[in-house]
Chain A
Amino acid sequence: MIESIDLSLCDGCGVCIESCPTDVLRLMEAGKPWVVEPRTWKAVIVYPNDCHSCRLCALDCHVDAIRVTHALEIPSPFLVHR
């Protein structure tokens, strides 16, 4: 599961956004809305529940800002039950 993106490291290059096959991430304008300049772009986790933990984003991040943990939950109805 994607856990966090360290925004102090992220330079908004946008690579991870393209790498994610399930489209979990988006690039967004960050910063204080009342400050006009300089505005920066950052990667944001928008759809965390759609992450399938493949780590492609983290592998591609050139500043190693993305943390993907091994935690994973298989939705319980899919485990064999009576």
Chain B
Amino acid sequence: MSSVTTDCSKSKSFLIDTTKCTGCRGCQVACKQWNQLKGEKTEFFSGEGYQNPPSMSEYTFTRVKFKDYQKHGQNEFAFYKEMCMHCNDPACASVCPVGAFKKTAEGPVVYNADRCIGCRFCMVACPFGIPKYQWSKAFPLVKKCTGCYSRVKSGLEPACATACPTAITYGTRGELLKEAEKRIANRPDRYYKTIYGKEEAGGTSVLYLTHQPLDELGFKPVTSRSLPSYTWQALRFVPGIFLTVGGGLSLVSWFNHRKERVKREEEQRKASAETHNGTE
């Protein structure tokens, strides 16, 4: 949560190899089941591709995006699983006024619903647009992928990773990065050269391998600096500015008041001298 990104190579991460994803959406179903989330009414062709539901929401923490493209004159599909990136230095945690979000040592970024005041700053801050709001409620809270923290703590893998037959590997971030680099080196024709999540937002605990360039697949281009460092570079001056302005103004007013007093005394002296002269 500070401006210095903590070492996350030991914390748990996801490696999602989109070239191996078959679009079965087992992860989507497993996530709904584990988190007891309501089904959503959807319709075909409601979003930019064939995916359903059209976007993530308070009821949908993860979803598989469909993207059609042309390869050697043939229509092909690419799929990618969208979820919370569990950033190493999460923007959502840094902006929350009550510290409701926390990056755990295990890896997942978790949300404490009992603290949240519902200001929605986390939604504005998250570079991946992950936190969603319970718009249907009078007193709404925030909802997002939990990284299956309760499962991870008790030694299990997240529900989606367990359900996935092909594409998701769960492990420590350091190992997964090595694995991803190995795959790229072994099959350079199969993989695009960049690991999404290695640098994005200062590094995330979800890493993607793709075949096509990232922007073609709809991955958001995100700064490689950790986001909280952008606000911290201004906020760290707060105590200094408070003291400077307070002290500076105190000095200025002391000086001006003194000047005034000296002037007044001078005038009084003159006046009394005059009356003195007058009486003589």
Pairing of A with B: no
Interface, chain B (partner A; CB < 8 A): none
